[in-house]
């Protein structure tokens, strides 16, 4: 794995206590490099299949920073929406898990 998390709005390396980003978009990225294109071609369909069939709404909520009960049930107060979608684009296939305005994609 190469790269490191960066958030220029917050000064480079993560959040500071009490800091929020109400009017900005923030993105954290991790780049994974493969020695050959064939390694990626072989692995990518399996990663997509795993991501779309294995992760449920509570997993997505946990990925995006929500505290979830250990029993995996949605909190009764939760009124948001969790969406997962798979799209074919010119550059390739991508999967995106969204919770309201937050998302994580592959």
The string of DSSP codes covering 49-104 is: HHHHHH--HHHHHHHTT----TT-PPPTT----EEEEEEEETTEEEEEEEETTEEE
Q: Which pLDDT belongs to residue 38?
A: 94
Asked if pLDDT for residue 36 goes beyond 90, the answer is: yes
What whole-number distance in Å separates Cα of residue 58 and Cα of residue 102?
14
Confidence of residue 39 (pLDDT cuts 50, 70, 90): very high
- Domain residue ranges of the chain, discontinuous segments joined by +: 1-33, 44-105
- Which two three-digit tokens encode residue 97? 């898990």
Task: Identify the H or E element spanning 41.
Answer: helix 37-54
Predicted TM-score (pTM) of the model is: 0.59
15, pLDDT greater than 50: no
Instruction: List the structure tokens of 83.
Output: 């969406």
- As a whole number of angstroms, the distance between CA 69 and CA 55 comes to 16
Q: Is the pLDDT of residue 47 over 80?
A: yes
Read off the pLDDT of each residue in 31-35 and give the average, rounded to a whole number.
85
Tell me the average pLDDT across 38-43.
Answer: 91
Tell me: the pLDDT tens digits for 61-93?
888 888 888 887 888 888 888 998 889 988 888
- The total of other beta-carbon atoms located within 10 Å of residue 15's CB is 13
């Amino acid at each position: 794995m190469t790269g490191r998390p960066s958030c220029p709005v917050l000064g480079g390396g993560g959040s500071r206590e009490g800091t929020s980003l109400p009017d900005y978009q923030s993105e954290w990225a991790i780049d994974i490099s493969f020695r050959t294109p064939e390694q990626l071609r072989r692995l990518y369909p399996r990663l997509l299949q795993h991501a779309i069939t294995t992760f449920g709404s509570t997993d997505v909520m946990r990925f995006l920073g929500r505290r979830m009960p250990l029993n995996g049930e949605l909190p009764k107060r939760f009124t948001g929406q969790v969406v997962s979608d798979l799209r074919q684009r010119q550059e390739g296939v991508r999967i995106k898990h969204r919770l309201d305005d937050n998302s994580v994609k592959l």
